[in-house]
């Protein structure tokens, strides 16, 4: 019996040693491979290409492509460039010659970042007119959407340049498209408070009284934006409904009152806004103004109370 016990222990020890060898080998194999769902390490040449693209260095772009840099590699761990291809980096930086060099080098014009942005969407929001044109000339799809359903036109309307917006309109971009929140390009422009963009979009005939998922119209959004009186006037000129309330019963006049903006309130009142209307919580525009508890709110409340008499 003792001899059998000794033989059993020996077998167990040998088995444990063999298992250890297998585990060691397996761990080393796993560490040498890319785990599922993990981005591969950023190749040095690709990093160089991204930097050259962002800087608009055409000579460096051509040199890196000639050396075999992957032209459509998504950036990894490069700050704001993370998830971008070199073309997206160039488009975002407004480097039109870099865009052309990358397209010539075989870059995929309609490649998407992890959140669905294309080079054209980056150009529309952060680049310029020339960059947008260069991408359209390269057959960029202008109605592609991000994961949140933003189009290039929406991005230009919300944060880009009016010249970029006009180029996209001329190309036939959809002015009726809505994003995840039900917002149209006109709503994005109204929320930005940019009169030029609002007027440019209004010439294409979008529904001025369309509402988003919260019931907000373009006028309601503009009324709550900073420095947006000219944009509000453009919407009023286009027959925007002055008294349309959102899902909570909040009207454009209440938005203006909440901003403590007497000029906005007066504009809306002169256009037919009703000061006595109440929201779902029973508050009038004057109540919204008073809730600010400051001199601006007091002045607007007085204006509204006099208008309501």
The residue among 137, 179, 203, 51 whose CA lies nearest residue 123 is 137
Proportion of the chain above pLDDT 90, given as a percent: 78
* CATH number of the domain located at residue range(s) 43-174 in this protein: 1.25.40.20
Q: Provide the pLDDT for residue 79.
A: 55
Global pTM reads 0.83
Tell me yes or no: is domain 178-241 CATH 1.25.40.20.
yes
**3-state SS assignment for residue 217:** strand
H or E stretch covering 61: helix 58-66
How many whole angstroms from its chain centre is CA 50?
21
Instruction: Tell me the pLDDT tens digit for each residue of 112-162.
Output: 999 999 999 999 999 999 999 999 999 999 999 999 999 999 999 999 999
What letters, b where the CB count within 10 A reaches 16 and e where it falls short, cover 39-62?
eeebeebbbbbbbbbbebbbebbe
The domain spans of the chain are 43-174, 178-241, 242-309
The residue among 215, 279, 209, 223 whose CA lies nearest residue 247 is 215
* CATH number of the domain located at residue range(s) 242-309 in this protein: 1.25.40.20
What number of other Cβ atoms are within 10 A of residue 32's Cβ? 7
Gap between the Cα atoms of 189 and 107, Å rounded: 31
> How would residue 272 be classed by pLDDT, with cut points 50, 70 and 90?
very high
Q: Do domains 43-174 and 242-309 have the same CATH topology?
A: yes
Q: Provide the pLDDT for residue 26.
A: 39
Backbone angles phi, psi at 232, to 5 degrees: -65, -40
């Amino acid at each position: 019996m003792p001899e059998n016990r000794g033989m059993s222990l020996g077998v167990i020890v040998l088995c444990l040693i063999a298992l250890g060898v297998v585990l060691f080998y397996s761990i080393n194999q796993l560490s040498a491979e890319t785990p599922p769902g993990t981005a591969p390490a950023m190749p040095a040449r690709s990093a160089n290409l991204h930097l050259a693209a962002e800087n608009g260095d055409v000579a460096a772009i051509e040199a890196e492509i000639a050396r075999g840099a992957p032209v459509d590699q998504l950036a990894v761990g490069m700050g704001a460039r993370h998830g971008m291809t070199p073309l997206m980096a160039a488009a975002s930086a407004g480097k039109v010659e870099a865009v052309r060099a990358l397209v010539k080098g075989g870059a995929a014009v309609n490649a998407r970042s992890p959140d669905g942005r294309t080079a054209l969407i980056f150009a529309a929001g952060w680049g310029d007119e020339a960059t947008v044109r260069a991408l359209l000339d390269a057959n960029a799809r202008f109605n592609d959407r991000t994961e949140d359903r933003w189009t290039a036109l929406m991005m230009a309307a919300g944060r880009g340049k009016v010249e970029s917006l006009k180029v996209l309109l001329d190309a036939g971009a959809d002015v009726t498209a809505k994003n995840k929140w039900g917002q149209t390009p006109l709503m994005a422009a109204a929320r930005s408070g940019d009169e030029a963009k609002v007027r440019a979009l209004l010439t294409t005939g979008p529904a001025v009284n369309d509402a988003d998922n919260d019931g907000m119209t373009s006028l309601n959004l503009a009324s709550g934006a900073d420095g947006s009186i000219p944009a509000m006037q453009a919407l009023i000129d286009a027959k925007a409904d002055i008294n349309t309330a959102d899902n909570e019963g909040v009207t454009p006049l209440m938005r203006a009152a909440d901003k403590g903006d007497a000029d906005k309130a007066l504009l809306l009142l002169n256009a037919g806004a009703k000061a006595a209307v109440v929201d779902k919580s029973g508050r009038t525009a004057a109540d919204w103004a008073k809730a600010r508890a400051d001199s601006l709110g007091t002045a607007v409340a007085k204006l509204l109370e006099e208008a309501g008499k």
